[in-house]
Amino acid sequence: MISSATIGPNGPDEPDTTADAFLGGRIEVLQHKKGHRGGSDAVFLAAAVPACEGESALDAGAGAGTAGLCLLARVASIDVTAVEIDKSQCVLARKNAERNSFGDRFRVVEADVTAPGKTLGTAGLVREGYDQVMANPPFYGAGSVRVAPDVARASAHVMPEGELERWVRFLTTMAGPRATVTLIHRAEYLGPLLDVLKDRFGALAVYPLFPKRGVPASRVIIQGRKNSRAQTRLLPGLVLHEEGGAYTAEAEAVLRNGAALTLEPSSA
């Protein structure tokens, strides 16, 4: 569940932002009123990451940090590195880490995930340095939707031709030898996602998110393990809403109570 309160230009935190509550109020995230905003997708993404205490996680395209902060709220003693290209989002992500008392475990790196490896290393990212890598990539292909006039919003929602493979290449480079990758995307992108993941990650698990019972999935969470040769599995997934529109008890447990989603990736 997400609730928000607007902070105006004279507010104490950041002009023209809202303070949005996640996980039943355990996390509060400042977000721009206009442009890209994190929502339930970020919460479901974080819930699916099988992080253990003492591990390090990397969130690509982190925005204001919602997914990484939700992961920190669920798993104690992990470190999260948030990578984001937009400077204003990086500013908010750092504020949000401090706001939620995670400043010592949440690091923000301003970088383009498609940049050359040397550039990423100079920015402070470590090749094969993370136990968990996750992303909520831009959802739309170039030409499939009308591009927003706001440049930052457009880049957060629209992915140029060939960009998805570059994102996955980045995640592969940053993932440790036995690391797990977790992504959330629109269901119609399942085919392209499997194509770019299959030669880099094994034990792929596909976890659909259904808006209601009996209707097609709107989102998929995909998870895999680097250097695994285990086969791909299609899981039952999660129904998000009852017929009346309320969240199902299972979805509510994730969104309000911070429950984990278990995709049970193979250890092979």
Q: Determine, yes or no, domain membership for 114.
A: yes
In a domain, 173, yes or no: yes
182 near 49, Cβ under 8 Å?
Answer: yes
Please report whether residue 262 resides in a domain: no
Any idea what the CATH number is for the domain that residue 106 is in?
3.40.50.150
Give the per-residue pLDDT at 162: 73
- Give how many domains the chain has, as a whole number: 1
Range of the domain at 214: 37-255
Q: Is 122 helix (H, G, I), strand (E, B) or coil?
A: helix
What's the confidence (pLDDT) of residue 160? 62
Could you tell me the two tokens for 266?
Answer: 């193979």
Residue 100 domain flag: yes
pLDDT digits (tens), the chain, 268 positions: 556 554 444 345 566 899 999 999 999 999 998 888 889 999 999 999 999 999 999 999 999 999 999 999 999 899 999 999 999 999 999 999 999 999 999 999 999 999 999 999 999 999 999 999 999 998 655 444 344 455 444 444 466 667 899 999 999 999 999 999 999 999 999 999 999 999 999 999 999 999 999 999 999 999 999 999 999 999 999 999 999 999 999 999 999 999 999 996 444 4
* 248: in domain: yes
In a domain, 64, yes or no: yes
CA 185 to chain centre: 9
Please name every residue paired with 4 in a beta bridge, in sequence order, or none if there are none: 20
The per-residue pLDDT for 223 is 97
DSSP 44-113: HHHHH----TT-EEEEET-TTSHHHHHHHHHSTT-EEEEEES-HHHHHHHHHHHHHTT-TTTEEEEE--T
Q: Does residue 4 sit within a domain? A: no
Q: Answer yes or no: is 1 within a domain.
A: no
pLDDT at 15: 67
